Amino acid sequence: MSAPSLRNARAGQSANRKAQLTELGLAFRGVFRTLSRMRGRDTHLGGSELSHAQFELLSELEERGELPAGELASAARLTPGTVTQMLDHLAESGHVERARSEVDRRVVVSRLTPLGRRKIEAKREAWQSRWEQALAEVAVKDLRAATRVLERLATMLEDPPLKSACEPVQDGSQAPR
């Protein structure tokens, strides 16, 4: 292949990659927006239904065992005030119980009740069924690729953000755009 042909091929691949990255970004934004809408709908659930946030909180208790509210808030990435409100509601509805820690009587811990465990299992089963139906036609190699992409995106989102293009740089001038 001649040098100009090779450059044209590389330029085409670069443009194709850029277009594919844009498409992936739009799809990711769509999923993120859908998750936000789903969380918004959770505010209108009936008394016995678990919201996504409550499900996550109960899942943390299931995985880690009994926890004080502060540790639970940190594990679930929620504010302590939010977790306290949620635990109040979950205790009223019989999903969790609160008790003094046997290790340190000054600390109150929350633990799942049998009802809480059943609710988690039921919600997981329902989601598992939807998950399997939605991905039934996707090849295993594509699922592996999607997993790698999502893992990289999660790592990227956990890392501290890069400096913004319009933040001042050390000398007081604006960073180039």
CA distances from 48 to 29, 45, 93 (A): 31, 8, 7
Q: How confident is the model at residue 171 (pLDDT cuts 50, 70, 90)?
A: low
The reply to whether the predicted model has a pTM over 0.75 is no
Does 139 have pLDDT greater than 90? yes
